[in-house]
Amino acid sequence: SVGKVCYEAEIRRHTTLELSADQLHQLGKDELNKIHKEIVELGGKVFSDQAKPEDINLAFIQGKLRDDPALFFNSAQEIQDAANAALKRAQAEVPQVFGRRPKAPCVVRPIPDYEAPFSPIAYYRPPEPGGGKPGEYFVNLLNPPTRPRYEAEVLAFHESVPGHHLQIAIAQELPELPAFRKHAYNTAYVEGWGLYSERLAAELGLYSDDLSRLGMLSFDTWRASRLVVDTGLHAKGWTRKQAEDFMFANTMLAKNNIENEVDRYISWPGQALAYKVGQLRILALRKEAEQALGAKFKLSEFHDVVLGEGPLPLPVLSEQVHAWITKEAGATAPASK
DSSP assignment letter at 57: -
Q: Describe the strand order of the beta sheet including 106-110 as a list of residue ranges.
A: 106-110, 135-139, 122-125
Average pLDDT, the chain: 95
Helix 164-172 with 299-307: angle, nearest 10 deg: 60
Q: Report pLDDT digits (tens) over 37-89.
A: 999 999 999 999 998 999 999 999 999 999 999 999 999 999 999 999 999 99
pLDDT band at 334 (very low <50, low <70, confident <90, very high): low
pTM score? 0.95
Name which of 28, 21, 29, 61 is nearest 44 in CA terms. Answer: 61
pLDDT of residue 185: 87
Please give the Cα distance from 271 to 233 (Å, whole number): 13
Cis peptide bond prior to 162, omega within 30° of 0: yes
- What is the separation of C-alpha 94 from the centre of its chain, rounded to a whole number of angstroms? 17
73 dihedral zone (left: phi>0; alpha: psi -120 to 50; beta): beta
Tell me if 245 sits within 8 A of 55, measured CB to CB. no
pLDDT of residue 333: 47
Helix 240-250 with 255-267: angle, nearest 10 deg: 130
- What is the separation of C-alpha 69 from the centre of its chain, rounded to a whole number of angstroms? 26
Neighbours of 59 (CB within 10 A): 10
Q: Report pLDDT digits (tens) over 199-240.
A: 999 999 999 999 999 999 999 999 999 999 999 999 999 999
- Which of 172-186, 197-211, 260-274 bottoms out in mean pLDDT, i.e. has the lowest? 172-186
